[in-house]
Amino acid sequence: MTTTTQPRGRRDAQATASDYRPGPDGLLLEVDDLHVEFHTEDGVARAINGVNFDLHAGETLAILGESGSGKSVTAQAIMGILDMPPAKIPRGAIRYCGQDLLTMPDEQRRKTRGPEISMIFQDALSSLNPVFPVGWQIAEMFRKHRGMNKSDATAQAVRLMERVQIPAAKQRVRAFPHQFSGGMRQRIMIAMAIALDPAVLIADEPTTALDVTVQAQIMALLAELQEERQMGLILITHDLGVVADVADRIAVMYCGRIMERADVLELYRRPAHPYTLGLLESIPRLDQKGQELSAIGGLPPNLLRLPSGCEFHPRCRFVQDVCRRDRPELTAVVGAAPGRESACHFSEEVHRG
Amino acid sequence: MADTATDPILVAKDLVKHYPIKGGVLRRTVGHVKAVDGVSFELRRGETLGIVGESGCGKSTLGRLLMRLEEPTSGTVDFDGVDLFSKSGSEMRRLRRDIQIVFQDPYTSLNPRKTVGDIVGEPFEIHPDVVPRRGRRQAVEELLELVGLSPEHINRYPHQFSGGQRQRIGIARGIALKPKVLICDEPVSALDVSVQAQVVNLMGRLQKEMGLAYVFIAHDLSVVRHISDRVGVMYLGKMAEFGTEDEIYERPTHPYTQALLSAVPVPDPTLRGHREQIMLKGDVPSPANPPSGCRFHTRCWKATEICTTDVPELVDRPDGLGAHRSACHHAQVRQVIETVDVSGDAATTRLERIEAHVAGEKAPGDGLLDKVAGGLATAAHEVRESAGSLKERLTAESSDDDTTLDPASPEAQEAFRRHRDDPTG
């Protein structure tokens, strides 16, 4: 492989290496009616119950949800790193550039992880191997996927560490993960994830463990890299502030389903699902004073025993009989901007405010 | 939220807590982690004092010192005129009735082998004269009800509750003895936003009902603004700035406070690109080896010669409208966030209107709110446009992100000198 000093921008540089071509309008990833369940001793926990979304090149899709909403499981299903068993994917498809990852042979799928789709994890300390130098771990991507020799791969690792703004990268390529601060470790994770110029980057709560000043640095870096490489970015988070700053589109998840999907400006301006509305009203805002917090009452349901009808009905303040009986599908909101979808019987009314 | 009384109930003076670092074969002390390094403040009756700062700034250690869960290296804490650290064991136990603490992690701060009744009732075992044995079960049930848990759950174990419910159990235990001061160490950080709002509202309600004073330690500046009357900003074991909520959020004079505030993402996509963001380089330096002079000088864009040598004092400095305490040689007011006063009932009105819609009624005064909101948005946009032309993007020049220390740096040499001159610490 003679790609040691390849320029940035994957499409031209890797035209020969990649077997995948994005769709006509830059469509990279389609998740179609995805279901994931976990078979446990207590029964079947339905973590994902029919999730649909797509992702285009250069776009940032935020998946917003609280703990247990299935946002991380969705990411793991796309990456193919779910433990199966206990996890099982009974239905659905995940198409990358038109090819279903779920039906692909394992060997072929393994080759997509890294060059095509890669992922940044929340906890950099436990995601990095403590007994290998960070440079070695970054270089591993080049050795395994590109068959590079050790010195070329290490040179690439240094280049990447410089790209993610780690000071004195040359000296620190042999340092171990524990010798770095939290923010620097997260940069190393990002370096590993972008090493092979992936088309899709999944960031699972990339800044949750970091302080705000460091969070701002990391988010700025991610935005810069995305712009530079025209990656499709899936940002998984629970932080409505971070989402407002970077996302193009938002999918709000609750109980393993997408409750609402909208353009970022639309969603914050006029939520069309009571859960989104409740979330927006329950966060204190830095730039507001005298604000009343209205909490969403109750707790998310147990995934082993999902409620009948709409999953959100036990906590919904607008609940009607129909909500207890019929599960609303994710459909277009009447009278709203095109592309807005909500899984609520009364989405029109909620949207109208 | 504040009580009419403004006399302090808790006064901390020059609190210092250094933890020794042991090293070598003989486990000798080779240095100190300066977790808290000279912090003074006062807490008034019935008020909420927010303490904010990034991880490692010493805010949790400060909370533990105020409870006397840690002995300080030096300094005093006066509670209601009594010096906390001069008290013996039994006297201290009596004092603790009035100072209680709620811990951050609701998963590890509750004993998994005890029932909720045992956990919440334990303060009554330690202080048997508060409630007679006979009335204890009822007292516990009342407490559970007060914090929004079902009294029937008294015999359940912590693992049968969710995170938010466990935090309520922690709060019930904290208020069992009707304390005057409740120290809350990141009480809502581990909770999801929808549940976080429930707990924040509960704490506000309890304060009103019981006249509690809170020391609210958190890293989330939005939550702190929401709940606090006054706020202290900590950096590397020292108080950088201290003032009322308005003074800190609307007229910050310390560069660190300004950078911190500007880094917090605001959940409003219309502000994208309009918000002024001060990007700090690097991470917080190690508290084992803090920078000389002003501790923030290594990341500060205003730092000059004096900052590297002289420690700035936390004294009143002008902030445009008046003055509040700030520890910066170059203190200068700079507004980094545009505050919108929403103390009206916009939120509830909106909620009511939707409810009316769903119930199939015609909501009164439908378009009015939208009109008002539209006007406000236009006005805000104009302000932003004019501010935008003045906007400058600042980056701190020096960076301190090396975890390894450059042996030629003044910090390293100073540390070396310290170790050489004073090997025992």
Band the pLDDT of B384: cuts 50, 70, 90.
low
Comparing A199-208, A290-299, B259-268, which segment has the lowest mean pLDDT?
A290-299
Whether residue A250 contacts residue A59, with contact meaning beta carbons closer than 8 Å, is answered with no
Q: Is the pLDDT of residue B226 over 70?
A: yes
Q: What is the pLDDT of residue B356?
A: 54
Distance (Å, rounded) from C-alpha A222 to C-alpha A60?
11
Identity of the residue in A216, A242, A268 whose CB atom sits nearest the CB atom of B277 = A216
**Which helix (H) or strand (E) segment is A288 a member of?**
strand A288-289
| pLDDT, tens digit, 9 for 90 and up, residues A264-308 | 988 888 899 999 998 888 888 888 776 678 888 877 888 888 888
| Residue B259 buriedness (CB in 10 A; 0-12 / 13-18 / 19+) | buried
Segment B205-232 shows an average pLDDT of 91
Cβ contact, residue pair A293, B201, below 8 Å: yes
Distance (Å, rounded) from C-alpha A146 to C-alpha A165?
24
Cβ contact, residue pair B340, A296, below 8 Å: no
Nearest CA in chain A to B262: A213
Q: What is the pLDDT of residue B348?
A: 46
3-state secondary structure of B13: strand
Q: What is the pLDDT of residue B371?
A: 45
Q: Is the pLDDT of residue B219 over 50?
A: yes
Segment B321-342 shows an average pLDDT of 86
Going from the N-terminus, what domains does chain A have, and what CATH number goes with each? 10-247 (3.40.50.300), 272-284+293-352 (no CATH)
Report chain A residues whose CB lies below 8 A from the CB of B271: 244, 287
Report chain B residues whose CB lies below 8 A from the CB of A264: 269
Q: What is the pLDDT of residue B381?
A: 54
Band the pLDDT of B259: cuts 50, 70, 90.
very high
- Side chain identity at B332, as an amino acid letter? Q
| pLDDT, tens digit, 9 for 90 and up, residues B300-329 | 998 889 999 999 999 999 888 889 999 999
**DSSP assignment string, B274-329:** TS---B--S-PPPTTSPPSSSTTTTT-TT--HHHHHSPPP-EEEE-SSSEEEE--T
| pLDDT, tens digit, 9 for 90 and up, residues A7-33 | 444 444 444 456 777 777 888 899 999
| pLDDT, tens digit, 9 for 90 and up, residues A204-246 | 988 887 888 888 888 888 888 898 888 999 999 988 888 988 8
Q: Is the pLDDT of residue A65 over 70?
A: yes
Distance (Å, rounded) from C-alpha B362 to C-alpha B359?
9
| pLDDT, tens digit, 9 for 90 and up, residues A161-188 | 988 888 888 888 899 988 888 888 888 9
Comparing A55 with A126, the larger pLDDT belongs to: A55
| pLDDT, tens digit, 9 for 90 and up, residues B242-258 | 999 989 999 999 999 99
| pLDDT, tens digit, 9 for 90 and up, residues B94-113 | 888 899 999 888 788 899 99
Provide the angle, in degrees to the nearest 10, between the axes of the packed helices A212-229 and A182-194. Answer: 10
| Chain A, chain B: beta-carbon pairs less than 8 Å apart | 189
Name the pTM for this structure.
0.79
Cβ contact, residue pair B223, A284, below 8 Å: yes
Structure tokens at B132: 């007679």
Q: Is the dihedral of CA B277, B280, B286, B287 positive or negative?
A: negative
Report chain A residues whose CB lies below 8 A from the CB of B380: none
Band the pLDDT of B395: cuts 50, 70, 90.
very low
| Count of CA atoms in the C-beta half-sphere (13 A) of A312 | 31
Q: What is the pLDDT of residue B344?
A: 55
| Mean per-residue pLDDT of chain B | 80
The closest alpha carbon to B145, from B194, B206, B200, belongs to B206
Identity of the residue in B194, B226, B401 whose CB atom sits nearest the CB atom of A295 = B194
Q: Is the pLDDT of residue A333 over 80?
A: yes
Q: Is the pLDDT of residue B422 over 70?
A: no
Report chain B residues whose CB lies below 8 A from the CB of A285: 222, 266-268
Instruction: Look up tokens 């003989």; give the residue.
Output: B26
| pLDDT, tens digit, 9 for 90 and up, residues B112-157 | 999 999 999 999 988 888 888 888 889 999 888 888 888 888 898 9
Distance (Å, rounded) from C-alpha B12 to C-alpha B66?
8
- Number of residues in chain A: 353
Distance (Å, rounded) from C-alpha A186 to C-alpha A180?
9
**DSSP assignment string, B356-418:** HHHTTPPPTTHHHHHHHHHHHHHHHHHHHHHHHHH----B-S-----SSPPTTSHHHHHHHHH
Identity of the residue in A168, A288, A299 whose CB atom sits nearest the CB atom of B162 = A299
Segment A112-131 shows an average pLDDT of 87
Q: What is the pLDDT of residue B229?
A: 92
DSSP state for residue B279 in the 8-state scheme: B
Cβ contact, residue pair B226, A216, below 8 Å: no
| Residue B29 buriedness (CB in 10 A; 0-12 / 13-18 / 19+) | middle
Report chain A residues whose CB lies below 8 A from the CB of B270: 265, 268-269
Residues 6+ apart with CB under 8 A from A340: A261, A262, A263, A266, A272, A332, A333, A351
Whole-angstrom CA distances from B26 to A22, B22, B29, B32 are 63, 9, 9, 16
| Mean per-residue pLDDT of chain A | 85
Using a pLDDT cut of 70, give the percent of chain B over it. 79
| pLDDT, tens digit, 9 for 90 and up, residues B68-103 | 988 999 999 999 888 988 888 888 888 888 999 998
Whether residue A20 contacts residue A116, with contact meaning beta carbons closer than 8 Å, is answered with yes
How close B90 gets to chain A, by Cα (Å)? 40
Whether residue B358 contacts residue A345, with contact meaning beta carbons closer than 8 Å, is answered with no
Distance (Å, rounded) from C-alpha B344 to C-alpha B255?
32
Can you tell me the ipTM of this complex?
0.81
Q: What is the pLDDT of residue B411?
A: 54
| pLDDT, tens digit, 9 for 90 and up, residues B281-304 | 777 888 888 899 999 999 999 888
Identity of the residue in B192, B221, B404 whose CB atom sits nearest the CB atom of A238 = B192
Q: What is the pLDDT of residue B253?
A: 93
| pLDDT, tens digit, 9 for 90 and up, residues B183-198 | 999 888 877 887 888 8
Structure tokens at A62: 């935020």
Comparing B11 with B377, the larger pLDDT belongs to: B11
**Which helix (H) or strand (E) segment is A277 a member of?**
helix A274-282
- Side chain identity at B42, as an amino acid letter? E
The closest alpha carbon to B278, from B261, B294, B302, B296, belongs to B261
Q: What is the pLDDT of residue A10?
A: 45
Whether residue B187 contacts residue B171, with contact meaning beta carbons closer than 8 Å, is answered with yes
Distance (Å, rounded) from C-alpha B264 to C-alpha A213?
8
Mutation for A interface: B281, B341, B401, B404, most A CBs within 10 A: B401
Q: What is the pLDDT of residue A99?
A: 87
